[in-house]
Amino acid sequence: MSVPPSLRVGVVCFSTFGGSGVVAAEVAAALAERGHAVHVFSDDVPGRLDPSRPGIHFHPVRPPAYPQLKHSPYPLALTSKIVDVARHEGLDVVHAHYALPHAASAVLARAVLGQDAGRPPPRLVTTLHGTDITLVGSDASFLPLTQYSITASDAVTAPSAWLAAATFQTLGIPASVQIDVIPNFVDAARFSPGGSPARAVPILLHVSNFRPVKRVADVLAVFAALRAERPVRLRLVGDGPDRPRLEAEVAARGWSRDVEFLGEQIDLPAVMRDTDLFLLPSETESFGLAALEAMACGVPVVASAVGGLPEVVADGETGFLCPVGDVPAMAAAAGRLLDDPALRARLGAAARRRAETQFRLDPAVDSYLAVYRRVLARGG
Ligand code: GMT
């Protein structure tokens, strides 16, 4: 089948701050920049999306409120919105970021559109992001639907080789399913190093959604070990369920002068530039986009040696990787970097180099477009 040069792409994503929404918004903007028509579906405008940008059409998904519908039927409202936009605007491809509910809603939309006479339904490309497989998708109550959403997609991508392999192991999907690995990327012009820092007291940074999988308590434990031996400050960016407990712990320990909780609405590149070391002690992480953004700002990373993090952080070159939960090892690695400015500068410069050469936006967008064209060329 011949594939038109300019495509109509539906992008389905979360609006909350979080890696999958960031990746979706930045791919959407890059596609629009290249002249494709991009329709973004979410409950609200994703944090990193400019909906007024030419070529971007934002479609808010608002489930109807009816007393009988006790739980908001968001996935069904999303399905209906995709069907509606595909019928009125035409969509060649729907790109669902995160398996459930997004890919499942898109599978259903494609089935509905398949009943229409006269034009083929859009192809479905699903990008897996991590917790949609490791936590949500592998939950017994969701497993069959996650498996189906993946096998029914026309193409599936993952941001790391680790997540691609974990998807086969965790979900038991057939080996015939192809998962293309398209690494996440960073805008290295926006996330760039500042001048040489002259801070009297070094600053540690953590960025996350404060969920148990991020082990933010380990960040505080590493901070406690470090501050026992040298002055140090800590900044935490983001919000989520564990934040109130951790804020209470900081207050109870009398650390409030040295530990700041900055929330979500901040200029992230500016905060990252004003940082000496980034901490990401997660239980699991398919990629670790925030670590990559810190690297692009020239900041070395101390993180867990789990999931896709070893594909992002080169151990000993752009930071240090330690076993999950090994607070003494993380504190020792962080202490080494804080006490040796030359080592910190060397690893920071290598981090910046790695981010801007290995994780560029353009090759990632080329790869997504190649996947779209491959599934479209296959025909109906
Ligand atoms: O980290 C989270 O819990 C948020 C989640 C998301 O869906 O936004 O992040 C996942 O996707 C990001 C973008 O691909 C990855 O950089 C994160 O590593 C991944 N999180 C986990 O695997 C825990």
- Could you report the per-residue pLDDT of 217-231, keeping only the tens digit for each? 999 999 999 999 999
Q: Name the percent of the chain lying above pLDDT 90.
A: 89
Model pLDDT, residue 83: 98
- Asked if the model's pLDDT at residue 196 lies above 70, the reply is no
pLDDT digits 0-9 by tens, 274-303: 999 999 999 999 999 999 999 999 999 999
- Asked if the model's pLDDT at residue 26 lies above 90, the reply is yes
pLDDT digits 0-9 by tens, 302-342: 999 999 999 999 999 999 999 999 999 999 999 999 999 99
- Mean pLDDT for all residues in the chain: 95
Give the number of the atom of ligand 1 that is nearest the alpha carbon of residue 284: 23
Give the number of the atom of ligand 1 that is nearest the alpha carbon of residue 214: 23
Model pLDDT, residue 8: 98
Mean pLDDT of 262-266: 87
pLDDT-derived band at 197 (thresholds 50, 70, 90) equals low
What domains lie within the chain, and their CATH numbers?
Answer: 8-185+360-378 (3.40.50.2000), 203-358 (3.40.50.2000)
Q: What are the pocket residues of ligand 1 if the criterion is a CB atom closer than 6 Å to any ligand atom? A: 18-21, 23, 98, 129-131, 159, 184, 209, 211, 213, 284-289
Cβ proximity of 279 and 205 under 8 Å: yes
Model pLDDT, residue 134: 87
Distance from the alpha carbon of residue 250 to the mean position of ligand 1, in angstroms: 26
pLDDT digits 0-9 by tens, 72-81: 899 999 999 9
Distance of alpha carbon 320 from alpha carbon 301, whole angstroms: 6
pLDDT digits 0-9 by tens, 229-242: 999 999 999 999 99
Mean pLDDT of 90-115: 97
Cβ proximity of 113 and 121 under 8 Å: yes
- Asked if the model's pLDDT at residue 24 lies above 80, the reply is yes
Residue nearest to atom 2 of ligand 1 (CA): 18
